[in-house]
Amino acid sequence: MKYFYTLLACLLFSVNIWAQDQHPFYATMALHHAEALVKDAPNDIEILSTYRNEAAVLMTPTGSHKLHDRILTHGPGYIFRNSKEEAITSIQNPPTKTARNARAALDFTITEDVTVIPTLALIQTQNIADHIIELENYGTRYHNRASGTQAAIDLKEKWEAMAASYGRTDVSVRLYEHTNTEMPSVILTITGAEFPDEYVITGGHLDSTSNQGNNNAPGADDDASGIATITEATRALFEIDFVPKRTIEVMAYAAEEIGLVGSNEIASEYAANNINVVAVSQFDMTLFNGSSNDVSFITDFTSGELTSYMMSLLDHYNTSEPHQVTYSTSVCNYGCSDHASWTGQGYMAAFPFEANFGQHNSNIHSTGDVFSLTNTATHATKFAKLCAEFLIEVAKNDNTALAVNDVIAPSIFITIQDGVLSYDFTAAQKEITGIHLHDIRGKEVMVVTNVSERDQITTPVLSTGVYIASFTTEDTNSSTIAKKLIVSN
């Protein structure tokens, strides 16, 4: 009996998958694209219903490929729907955004300088490059290839190992199994210390596609770059021991390229369960520097409020080198990436893209989407910085050690470089009685007593990270002056 049900379940499951590979499926898309496709390929698309500028359709896979060919698109250009009813309702009854935003209550403040600024210095371009190449080496991450599923399983392990290497017990990683693809999505969760029920989400898609056959779909820019970008931003958060007040989720979506299948199922489930998602950012293509500005914020199917907040993050943190990032705006297209799944459920989503639309990497969705085309992840690094700023500023810092203020009197000089702690309190006319050096978790790594007001002290060997140097002064109230220092190797 059990065997029978398993068999039945397998059969139903494979019919579902098969449905999208061989048979017509339901979708929604821009009305003008649907109408054009009806003229080009009348046997491959049927318009079921229209509402304003959207259409609910029944379409063959051939039709979806023709849609790709005829419109200059990133992403699939349509959103997969489970049924005729779902396709029609999704265009006619979009969720009320005001209802969800009222619950979300993002205050759009920028308050975390003391955490963000040292984090930016920790983001490593080489880590992003290495991860892109690692993902490219699967050959294909197409959603129904074994290597696509393997990439998800391996990413889960990579993220778990990354969290463990920084001793994070507040982090979990899970595979999210889907109804309409064999490939799971991967979700890393950092539980919020103060507001665990408020979610801050960043994501990109793990799957790839190629119009030259999906056995060779390296997908370096689209979208290994996005996965590598959000991974490095998250690693930098771990390195600085960032503990968020709100829950952070980092998502690698499955099956974006066949109609936002992975993100759509996740966003629908979150909405159905009334999960309070405060803000969502999408990183899909960060590798190719095709425009005069660095970041192009996509303005269609995104939240204007959240987009302008992300711009103000760049205005605040990225106006000069070594962290300078310039930006402008652009429009993408219908169903152009996973942000549309969240927007469609009434959540606030933003999408910083690699270039103005049309100036982006023209090799995507082909065998030519390889890392060697650009051969550097410098451009992606800017997006990793923006991602870290977004996560820290929206989730907010709960770690009091990180709240140590970097800004001390300009007359005081404290620095750490090449294993030497240098300081000078002479101009401030302060007598120093002792120095304590702690790592970010509060572990004492050096204590010095009987010190002078100016010295250079060789430290023990320190691993990369953030340290707090505390100087005890001989004031009447014997106060402590603390400074956060970054050790990079």
Amino acid at 206: L
Kindly name the residue from 365, 369, 389, 438 that is annotated as catalytic. Answer: 365
How many residues at the interface with Zn ion, by CB under 5 A? 3
Q: Is 256 a catalytic residue?
A: yes
Rounded-to-10 torsion of CA 391, 394, 398, 402: 60
The least CB distance from residue 206 to Zn ion, in Å, is 10
Window contacting Zn ion (CB under 5 A); options: 152-160, 208-216, 284-292, 415-423: 284-292
Cβ nearer to Zn ion, comparing 284 with 393: 284
Active-site residue (options: 112, 182, 198, 222): 222
User: Residue 298 or residue 440: which is nearer to Zn ion going by CB?
Assistant: 298
Residue nearer to Zn ion on the CB measure, 264 or 473: 264
Active site includes 284?
yes
Site string for Zn ion, 217-236 (x = CB under 5 A): -----xx-------------
Residue 194 falls in the annotated catalytic set: no
Q: Residue 212 or residue 415: which is nearer to Zn ion going by CB?
A: 212
* Nearest distance from C-beta of residue 219 to Zn ion, angstroms: 8
Asked if residue 207 binds Zn ion (CB under 5 A), the reply is no
Whether 134 is catalytic is no
**Residue closer to Zn ion (CB basis): 136 or 223:** 223
Stretch that binds Zn ion, among 45-53, 146-154, 276-284, 418-426 (CB under 5 A): 276-284
Instruction: Pick the stretch among 215-223, 258-266, 374-382, 465-473 that binds Zn ion (CB under 5 A).
Output: 215-223
Work out how close the CB of 440 gets to Zn ion at its nearest, in angstroms, rounded to a whole number: 35
Could you tell me the smallest distance in angstroms from the CB atom of residue 353 to Zn ion? 10
Contact predicate 108/360, CB 8 Å? no
CB of 329 to Zn ion, least distance (A): 19
Least separation in angstroms between CB 288 and Zn ion: 12
Assess whether 438 carries a catalytic annotation: no
Min CB(223)–Zn ion separation in Å: 4
* Active-site pick, 131, 205, 323, 360: 205
Give the residue with the Cβ less far from Zn ion, 77 or 465: 77
Nearer to Zn ion, 192 or 262 (CB): 262
Q: Max Cα separation, the chain?
A: 88
Among 232, 256, 338, 354, the one annotated catalytic? 256
Of the candidates 351, 344, 313, the residue with the CA atom closest to the CA atom of residue 329: 351
Q: Nearer to Zn ion by C-beta: 27 or 116?
A: 27
Q: How many Å apart are CA 232 and CA 142, to the nearest integer?
A: 23
Q: Could you tell me the smallest distance in angstroms from the CB atom of residue 66 to Zn ion? A: 19
Among 182, 232, 257, 389, the one annotated catalytic? 257
Question: Which residue in 112, 221, 239, 284 binds Zn ion (CB under 5 A)?
Answer: 284
- Cβ neighbors of 196 (< 8 A, separation 6 or more) are 246, 247
Candidates 51-59, 279-287, 448-456, 470-478: pick the segment binding Zn ion (CB under 5 A). 279-287
In Å, what is the CA distance from 165 to each residue of 58, 72, 347, 382, 431? 48, 43, 33, 25, 40
Which residues are annotated as catalytic? 205, 222, 256-257, 284, 365
In the complex, which residues of this chain contact Zn ion (CB under 5 A)?
Answer: 222-223, 284
